[in-house]
Each structure stands twice: as C-alpha cells, then as structure tokens.
Structure 1
Amino acid sequence: MHALVLEDFNTMTVQERPDPTAGPGEVLLAVLATGICGSDLHGFTGKTGRRVPGQIMGHETVARVVSVGDDVHGLEVGALATLNPVVVPEREAAAWAGREHHHPDKYVIGVRPDVVSAFAQLIVVPARNVVPLPTGMQPEHGALVEPVAVAVHAARRVDASAATSALIVGGGPIGQSLVLTLARAGVTRILVTEVDPARRDLIARLGATPLDPTSGPVSDQVRAALGDLADVAFDAVGVSATVADALSSTRLGGAVCLVGMGQPRLDLDAFTISTMERSIVGSFTYSSDDFRAAVEIVAGAPDIAAALISRIVPLSEAPEAFTSLASGDGTPGKVLVRMSAT
C-alpha cells in the first residue's frame, strides 16, 4: 500500500508501506478519502508538538470494509464506513460508553504516532470504532462526519438547541460544521465572523450571515444584525482576541463555547465573565453518541455537505496540498485526499 508520511516538519512524502492485516476484534479498511484537518496542518508545520516526523496522520476519513478479524460481527465486507478516532481500552469500552473522550488512557487515531492512520490506503482499527454509513450516502461525505462530530459535541456542551441565535467566531471547517449542526438543532439566526472573503461567501451559501471582523467591533455588528446580543457563541479560533469578541457579543448570562485551540494560554477580561454572568465552556472531540448524531446530520444534508468540500486531490498531489494549505492559500472549505480509486 501507499501512505502519506510526515517525513519531516513541512515535508510530506508518499511512501510504500506493508499491507496490514486485521487481528481479533479488528477491521481492515480500504481508505477512500481523508480530509486535511487544521490539526494535521499544525502537525505538518510542527506548531503544536502533537505530531512527530515519520508519522502517518489522518482521522477525518471514509473507507470500505475489506476484512474483519475473529470475534467481529455486524460489519459486512464492502460496507461503506467511517471511523471514530477516539479509542478507549477494549475492557473498559462499555463502562465508558458515551464519555469515551474523557477516558484518561484513550488515544486518538491520527494523533498517536505509532498508529498507522487514515492517510494510508489500508488501515486496521478496532471494530468498536468503525461506524457504518447509510446506504446511498455520497462516499466522500463520510469524511465530513468527524469535524461535524466536533460541532455536535460543542453544541451540546452549551445546550444550543435552547437558543434562537448564535455567533460563531471563525468560519473555517469547524465553524462551517457548526453552521450545519446549529441549523439542524433549530437555531434560526446564525452569524459567523470571518476575515477571508471566500469563506464569507461559503458561509452565506450555507445559510448563515457572515460578518467581517475587520470592518468594526464584532459586538456592534451582532447587535445590528440581531437587534440584540447572541444567545450563545462558539469560538472556533481560540486566541485572546476571538474569545474577547465572543464574550462581548453574547447576552448577559449567556455561554461561550471554546472549540478552537489557537493559543495554549489566553488573556481574559474577567469582568465580562463575572459581572455579566457569562460562562466559558470547553469542548474537545466528542463522544460515540455525538459521532453517531453527526452521521445522521451529514447524511441528511447532502447539498450542504457537498458545499463544504472545496476540492479533492489524488494522493500524488497531497504533499503539495499540505504545503499550499499551510501557506494560507485561501481555500474556503475542506480539502480531501483521495486515497483509493474505488
């Protein structure tokens, strides 16, 4: 098989690797396409220290079942599937169901360096992490389930279904996934701040109202658009300035969900939290319940899912795609790497 390898920081190469086989409790998947996540780009540049040279990354993926190991039932060979990258020890999987992301000994496929992940043509994963996709679903859309699961978990963290208005700070792929998720949850007025014009155009096509944060104070723009501040806000960037925008644009007693991780430390105006009784809530990855909900959301919105994908590149062009995206090439949505021709 061939795989996309982080040979060194800022250098990706396509290399040949041995074909894996599924052991007991495991499934062998033929990867069809894998999305390039922002965390993959940070790994590519070495920005976060969460990836290492020699690693095969990738966790936003869609695949077909090639074979199953002993003691695996309910997964048919040839079935279209995605994978939940959050893996807990098998002996504790049942006890931690619905809160897998809180397990202290979990690992994440695509992050753990010794696990061959979804930028390989063939991967072996625990059967309990394979999630079949509905019949008739456009295969490439399966690679969107993971980022939408991030959005589902964030929305649930602040009970967004009780809100009528929301502000999303940052219109990248997670911000875009939040638009889809919040609309499905019944939020009728969704605003998204984004500096890039191409992304603002995409946000508008998704049915949300784009705001340009460089054109004036975000809180003033939110008031102008809504007639009030937003019920809830999501920071999909995660730097001090964007958290400040989210806090100042959220109603008294409202909540801000911190999804982005742009900085390891933040400067906060404590008075905008305490005197206005606003809350900051963290959100990281998702539970298995969130992941299954994301499958339904993506499968139920094929037109929006298609709009979220900016382009699909063959494996041979993936190194160039990483370099281009890391340089800020202006791609508005998700870039997928086609790992297999079928």
Structure 2
Amino acid sequence: MVLHEGELGVADVPQPTPGPGQVRLRVTRAGICGSDLHVRVDPDVSADVAAEVGYPDFMRAKQRVVMGHEFTGAVDAYGPGCRRRWRPGQAVVALPLIRHGDDIHMIGLSTEAPGAYAEYMLVAEDAAMPVPAGLPPDLAALTEPLAVAYHAVRRGEVARRDPAVVIGCGPIGLAVILILKALGVRHVVASDYSAGRRELAWACGADVVVDPAVESPWEMLGDGPVTSAPELYGTGLDALHALRSVPGLPWWSALTAAQRLGAGPRGAVVFECVGVPGVIEEIVTRAPFQSRVVVVGVCMRPDTFRPTMASNKEIDLRFSFCYDPAEFRATLHLVARRKLDPRPLLTGVVGLDGVAGAFDELGRAGRHAKILVDPWLK
C-alpha cells in the first residue's frame, strides 16, 4: 500500500533485500496508527519538525511511501553480519527503527525504510524481539501502540491511589486506560464525546466514563484533589494550627515528614490523548491544583495555553512521544502474561485493498479503535 500526495493505492514494488544486520519479515499483521491518519493528510508539517530535531528523512507529500510502524511478522531471511538468532518462521515484533550504514530511519515514515503495509519488510535484527509462544499476531501487533501508552503512564509517575483522568478515548487513550488498570491504578476517569469510544473505554476497564457535553470529568474525582486556591492555602494553615497545638513538637519537621509520606494536597494525573488545539488550555484551567498533565496526543498545529494559570495551580506539564527498548519489551510481556487484555481495541481487519477505506473510517471517530492490516488477506 503506497501513499503519494495523500492518496493510498496498492502497487507492486521489489521485494526488499536485507542488508547488514537486517532481517526480512513476512508481515502477518500491521496496525493503523492515528499518526498515520495525520501524516497522510499533511506529512510536511511533521517533516519540518523532524528536520529541526535532526532527522531530515521524514516522509513528505511528494514522495511515495509504504507506511506501517506497528507490526508483527515471521522471520523470512537474514542479511550479512546477522547472528541469526531465530529460526525462519519465528514470530517477532521490532522497534520501528532501522540502520542503513550510519543512518537511522523511522520504519513506515520514510522512503528510506518501507513499513508494514506490505507483504514483506525489513527490520534491524538487534531491534527485533521474539513473540512469546501462544500470543496471536492480532495481539502482538499491538505492542507498539501499547508501548507508547506504557511510556506515557511512566512519564506521569502514577501511584495506585492517584486519580487518573484520560481525555480522549481514541486508540492511544484506550491504551492508556489499559495500562493504568494493568498497573493497579484504582480510579480512572475517561472522557470522550463519541458514544462508541465511551463504550470501548468501559470495555478497557475505566472506572468512570463521561460524555463531556453532559457532565464534567473533573467532578468525578471525589473530594481528594484541591480545586481552589483558598482550599489549598487553608489546608496548609489547618496543618500548621494542628501541629502547633502539640507542645514541644517542631512543627516544621513534622510537616516535612508528613509530606515525605505523601500527606497533604495531591492533584490528579491527567492524560491528554486528543491532540487538538485548545485541549491543553482546557485541562490546565479545569484540572485540580498540583496535577501532572501528560500530553500524549500529537497536535499538528501551534497551540496556546495560559502559563500564569499553570503557575498558580502548580501544574506539571509533561510531553510524551515514544518509548525505550525495555519499555517495548515490558509491554509485549504484559500482554503475553495476560496482565492486560487489549482485545477491546481490535475492531477490524482488512487486506491491503481495504487500507484506504479503513483510514477514512478511522477518521470519523465512530465505533473503531484499532484496525489491523493482514497483507495476505484477499
């Protein structure tokens, strides 16, 4: 499936030949990512940002690109210099990065590294990981998007007792819910305007699911988080009054010790999974004091928020993008050990000739979450 000037079409291309340290995979499943939907329409915006951070080979609209960076496949052939770690036919997943000489390329997002919307593709042997026995390809292919969510949750430093709020229940928002619940977070509030996505949020384990057009997710956090400046200041004064009433007690030492044990005001951990201008400002304005906000949604356009509001409320604003190799492997094994069940994410499978229609369907934010591509499906 080749993308060119925003149009997707099936084409015959030469079978890839693995170079040094590379493995050719026979693709069994590939996931359609939300970022693929964005770059199909306007890849040049992402390419400009990628160039600014040192990667000049991100795809552009005028190029012909085979996309697909969420995948699993079977080992088919090795290039020179490989250690040949696995027998032919072994199912693997891999980080979507590959070396050509001294250069590193993003698989499925560059002409230099064709992706998984194809029958065969190349990966780096060092970046590949065997799929545990018994894990079907439909679930193994979800390793990459779940790893994005796993990294985002780690960025949020979420404790089990922290209330968590997920704004936006598209594929990544749903994956964040799955990871939060797999890690034992007790109270997860999910918010989305789409009825279909709200149903999926319930299926993924959210404790509270709201339609923000009808009710506020922030009102579902209970009485713990602080929501006003007088309340925050009053908490400090009340603690000071109580501690000073104990004769001989150094109140400053007691207060410091209590803070180390987690006492005192504590905000929510909020995951922005929408990627639309204005959402960060809405979260900064509405979230409880001392919240941690993890921005997972990829907003392709400039955005604004009020720093003075974030400062007054001591909001931590963090951005999350990818994952490291250990997180990728940990995610794979969370799924293999059934610590989390990502099956609610799976809402369709298409062949290569169905990819263009699947892109259109996913862009409508209806019942679908993750549509997989089986390149051998006719």
Please, what TM-score do these two structures have when normalized by structure 2? 0.79
Q: Which is worse superposed, 292-301 or 202-211?
A: 292-301
Q: Which residue of 2 aligns with 1:340?
A: 376
Residue 280 in structure 1 maps to residue 348 in structure 2 = no
Q: Between Structure 1 and Structure 2, how many residues are aligned?
A: 321
The verdict on how the C-alpha distance between 1:90 and 1:136 changes in structure 2, with shifts beyond 3 A counting, is: farther
* Structure with bigger gyration radius: 2
User: C-alpha separation between the residues in 1 aligned to 2:101 and 2:326?
Assistant: 17
Task: Please list the CA deviations of residues 249-274 of structure 1 after superposition, one character each: whole Å capped at 9, or x if unmatched.
Answer: 54322210111122432221223311
Structure 1 residue runs of 5 or longer lacking an equivalent are 92-104
- Secondary structure of the residue aligned to 1:28 is strand
Residue 33 in structure 1 maps to residue 29 in structure 2 = yes
User: C-alpha separation between the residues in 1 aligned to 2:269 and 2:101?
Assistant: 37
User: C-alpha separation between the residues in 1 aligned to 2:160 and 2:20?
Assistant: 44
Q: Which residue of 2 aligns with 1:76?
A: 87
Q: Which residue of 1 aligns with 2:165?
A: 167
One-letter amino acid matched to 1:211: V
The verdict on how the C-alpha distance between 1:106 and 1:282 changes in structure 2, with shifts beyond 3 A counting, is: farther
1:24 to 20, 26, 50: 20
1:269 to 267, 281, 306: 306
Structure 2 residue runs of 5 or longer lacking an equivalent are 47-58, 226-266
Q: Which residue of 2 aligns with 1:65?
A: 75
Q: Quote how far apart the aligned CAs of 1:341 are.
A: 5.2
User: C-alpha separation between the residues in 2 aligned to 1:165 and 1:261?
Assistant: 23
Q: Quote how far apart the aligned CAs of 1:299 are.
A: 2.1
- Secondary structure of the residue aligned to 1:113 is coil
Q: Which residue of 2 aligns with 1:135?
A: 133
What is the root-mean-square deviation in Å for CA atoms of aligned residues? Answer: 2.3
Q: Quote how far apart the aligned CAs of 1:164 are.
A: 2.6
User: C-alpha separation between the residues in 1 aligned to 2:132 and 2:274?
Assistant: 32
Task: Please list the CA deviations of residues 270-297 of structure 1 after superposition, one character each: whole Å capped at 9, or x if unmatched.
Answer: 2331111111011111111111111122
Residue 291 in structure 1 maps to residue 288 in structure 2 = no
Q: Which residue of 1 aligns with 2:263?
A: none
The 5-angstrom pairing of residues 40-51 of structure 1 reads: 40-46=36-42, 49-50=45-46, 51=59
Task: Please list the CA deviations of residues 29-75 of structure 1 after superposition, one character each: whole Å capped at 9, or x if unmatched.
Answer: 01011111111111222266444341111101111111222332322
One-letter amino acid matched to 2:86: L
Q: Percent identity?
A: 29
Q: Which is worse superposed, 273-282 or 74-83?
A: 74-83
Poorly superposed stretches of 4+, deviation over 4 Å? 87-91
Query: Comparing both structures, which one devotes a greater share of its residues to strand?
Result: 1
The verdict on how the C-alpha distance between 1:286 and 1:320 changes in structure 2, with shifts beyond 3 A counting, is: same
Residue 304 in structure 1 maps to residue 315 in structure 2 = no
User: C-alpha separation between the residues in 1 aligned to 2:174 and 2:291?
Assistant: 22
